[in-house]
Amino acid sequence: MAIRAMETFVGPARVLIVEDHPVLREVVRMACDASPFLHVVGEARTGEEALEACRTLEPDVVLLDLTLPGMDGLEVARRLRAQEDPVKILVVSGRTDDQTVFESIRAGVDGYLAKTAAVRYITDSLVRVAAGERVFSRDQERAAIAELGRLARRAREASGLTPHITPRELEILRHLGRGLTMRQVANRTGVSARTVEAHIAKLHRKLGVSNRVQALARAADLGLIDLG
């Protein structure tokens, strides 16, 4: 990785470290200083300090911790990326949930590492990001894409387009449409009567109705089932 960066080597990349934990900050700084490809130009402990430091120092790459006192790290990332010729950002975070990874990628960061990553990996990634590469694992990309899918589904349901009926719910609707009782539906689908009730309650909500007859009529309207 470092060798590839050497092909575009124009001097060490100028790094701004944004991290509120003093020990971690020191560890990363020392590791960067030990690398011929990196040169630490400044450190910041809060979001506001980070934005100010970027303005005055104009680093090539920012190492950004997401959990900062005051302004949230994601907000810092957004503001930095909104600028003309935005600085490259490598996130290092204790948070690795899908939602956070998605929001970071959405904000336009160039890489994402877990805080448990080896320091050597952090410095290597800083060099790569400064050279224009993206540093995301396959898992992170999949997580971000999965979140994108959830965002699309929520947006669709929020705008009142036909809500997403699951295959199981459709099966239950069809049985009800044929006149089966709840008990018969439970037997036919192999779940308890209570589960069937729960599905039906959800269906009523999704279809925007308050009773069985309306549910069937609406479902027929939408072409989900045939009545008669």
Partner 1 sequence: MALPRKGAGRPWAERITAMTTPQASEGLDPRLPPTRRLGVVVVDPLPVVRAGLSLLIGDRPDIDVLAEAGTAEEAVEAVRRIRRSQVVMLVGLGLDGEHDSYWLIRTVRERFPGIAVLACGANADPTAISRALFTGADGFVDKNADPVEFLQSLRRVASREMVLAGPPTEWVGAIAEGIERRRMMEMALTAREREVLRVAAEGLTARQIATRLGVQERTVTTHLTRIYDKLGVGSRVAAIRVAAHAGLVSLGTPE
* Interaction site with partner 1 (CB under 8 A): 102, 105-108, 134, 136, 141-142, 144-146, 148-152, 155-156, 158-162, 164-167, 170, 222-224
CB 66, CB 93: distance < 8 Å = yes
**For residues 37 and 136, which CB has a smaller minimum distance to partner 1 in the complex?**
136
The whole-angstrom separation of Cα 28 and Cα 92 is 11
Report, in Å, the least distance between residue 150 CB and partner 1.
Answer: 8
Three-class SS of residue 224?
Answer: coil
Residue placing its CB nearer to partner 1 in the complex, 179 or 223:
223
Burial class (CB in 10 A: 0-12, 13-18, 19+), 66: buried
Question: Least Å distance between CB 93 and partner 1?
Answer: 17
Tell me the closest approach of the beta carbon of residue 155 to partner 1, in angstroms: 4
Min separation Cβ 69 and partner 1, Å: 26
Q: For residue 58, is it left (φ>0), alpha (ψ between -120 and 50) or beta?
A: left
Give least dist CB 144 to partner 1, A.
Answer: 6
The CA distance from 10 to 59, in Å, is 14
Name which of 42 and 73 has its Cβ closer to partner 1.
73
In the complex with partner 1, the residue whose CB is nearer, 53 or 144, is 144
Nearer to partner 1, 1 or 155 (CB): 155
CB of 17 to partner 1, least distance (A): 24
Q: How far apart are CA 81 and CA 209, in angstroms?
A: 45
Using DSSP's 3-state secondary structure scheme, residue 113 falls into: strand
Task: Pick the closer one to partner 1 by CB: 40 or 64.
Answer: 64
Q: How deeply is 51 buried, as exposed, middle or buried, from its count of CB atoms within 10 A (0-12, 13-18, 19+)?
A: middle
Cβ-contact 112, 94 below 8 angstroms? no
